[in-house]
Amino acid sequence: MSRKVAWISDIKTEDKPWGNVRSWSSAGFIHGKILTIKKGHRTSLKRYKTKNESFYLLSGKVAVIYGDEKTTDPKYMQHGVLEPDQILSVPSMCPYRLEALEDSVIIESSDYRDMGYEILEDDYNRQ
């Protein structure tokens, strides 16, 4: 019989054109990130094939664009603003984009599955 054991691990930090991401993996398929997005910058408009995500705004103010699994054109998506202590939940195949109206810190949690994704738009020409 195998035994379950807790552990301590380091986080991975990755610089992005819009700020940075600090990430870690946990038990099972749980994955966490802390996104720091600089004012005036935004993430790519993208969607994940099987990954479900939640974004909790810790500080700042973030404009969000989000749609259903059939929508890929941002002009047909919902637009809103996240304030601290609000959450954006994004099921798999639903596109979204985050834009910092102020320097912002977001905690992301996801069910770290297949990381296949599609970028619909990107300000920094990433694929």
Q: Please list, in sequence order, all residues whose beta carbon lies within 8 angstroms of the beta carbon of residue 80, skipping any fewer than 6 positions away.
A: 63, 64, 66, 88
CA distances from 74 to 47, 93, 94, 95 (A): 12, 14, 12, 9
Distance CA 120, CA 122 (A): 7
CATH numbers and ranges of domains, the chain: 19-121 (2.60.120.10)
Tens-digit pLDDT profile for residues 22-69:
998 877 778 899 999 999 999 999 999 999 999 999 999 999 999 999
Q: What percentage of the chain reaches a pLDDT higher than 90?
A: 79
- Name the strands in the sheet holding 12-16, side by side, starting at the edge strand that comes first in the sequence: 12-16, 19-25, 31-37, 104-110, 53-59, 87-90
Predicted confidence band of residue 113 (pLDDT cuts 50, 70, 90): low
**pLDDT-wise least confident of 31-40, 51-60, 91-100, 113-122:** 113-122
- Its pTM stands at 0.91
Check whether 114 has a pLDDT greater than 70.
no
